[in-house]
Chains A and B, each alone.
Chain A
Amino acid sequence: MKIVVIKYNAGNIRSVCNALKRLGYEAEITDDVEKIKAADKVIFPGVGEASTTMKYLRESGLDKVIVSLKQPVLGICLGMQLMCKFSEEGNVDCLGIFDVPVKRFQLPAQNVDNLKIPQMGWNTITSVKSPLYNAQLENQYVYFVHSYYVPLCDYTAATTNYTISYSSSLHRDNFYATQFHPEKSGSVGEQILKNFLEL
Chain B
Amino acid sequence: MLAKRIIPCLDIRDGKTVKGINFVNIKEVGDPVELGAWYAEQGADELVFLDITASHEGRKTFADLVGRIAENINIPFTVGGGISELKDAGVLLNAGADKISINSSAVRNPQLIDDMAKNFGSQFVVAAIDARCDENGEWIVTVNGGRIPTEKRLFTWAKEAEERGAGEILFTSMNHDGVKQGFANEALAQLSEMLSIPVIASGGAGSMEHFKDVFTLGKADAGLAASIFHYKEIAIPDLKAYLRQNGITVR
Hey, which bits of chain A sit against chain B, CB under 8 A? 11-12, 14-15, 18-19, 21-22, 47-49, 107, 114-124, 141, 143-145, 161-162, 181, 183-187, 189-190
The 0/1 profile, CB within 8 Å of A marked 1, for residues 191-221 of chain B is: 0110111100000000000000000000101
By secondary structure, the A interface counts as mixed
9 smallest A-B Cβ distances: which pairs?
A141-B251, A122-B3, A122-B251, A145-B123, A184-B76, A123-B2, A116-B198, A14-B96, A18-B71
Q: State whether A47 touches B121 (Cβ < 8 A).
A: yes
Q: State whether A121 touches B40 (Cβ < 8 A).
A: no
Residue numbers in B under 8 Å from A48 (CB-CB)? 121
Complex-state Cα separation, A118 to B219, whole angstroms: 16
Q: State whether B98 touches A119 (Cβ < 8 A).
A: no
Could you list 18 A-B pairs, sorted by A, with CB under 8 Å?
Answer: A11-B120, A11-B121, A12-B93, A14-B70, A14-B96, A15-B70, A15-B98, A18-B96, A22-B71, A114-B219, A117-B196, A117-B197, A118-B123, A121-B198, A122-B251, A145-B123, A187-B74, A190-B74
Closest Cβ of chain B: how far from A140's Cβ, in Å? 9
Complex-state Cα separation, A60 to B27, whole angstroms: 52
Complex-state Cα separation, A161 to B249, whole angstroms: 13
Taking A49-B121, A141-B3, A189-B74 as known contacts, 11 extra A-B pairs with beta carbons closer than 8 A to each other, sorted by chain A number, are A11-B124, A12-B98, A22-B72, A107-B196, A116-B195, A116-B221, A119-B2, A141-B251, A184-B76, A184-B98, A186-B40
Give the contacts of B1-28 with A (CB-CB under 8 A).
1-5
Q: State whether B71 touches A21 (Cβ < 8 A).
A: yes
Task: Tell me, yes or no, whether B54 is within 8 Å of chain A by CB.
Answer: no
Whose C-beta in chain B lies nearest to the C-beta of A163? B2
Hey, which bits of chain B sit against chain A, CB under 8 A? 1-5, 40, 45, 70-72, 74-76, 93-98, 120-124, 167-168, 192-193, 195-198, 219, 221-222, 251
Complex-state Cα separation, A141 to B3, whole angstroms: 9
Q: State whether B192 touches A114 (Cβ < 8 A).
A: yes
Residue numbers in A under 8 Å from B123 (CB-CB)? 47, 118, 120, 145
CB-CB under 8 A for A19 and B74, given A12-B96, A186-B40: yes
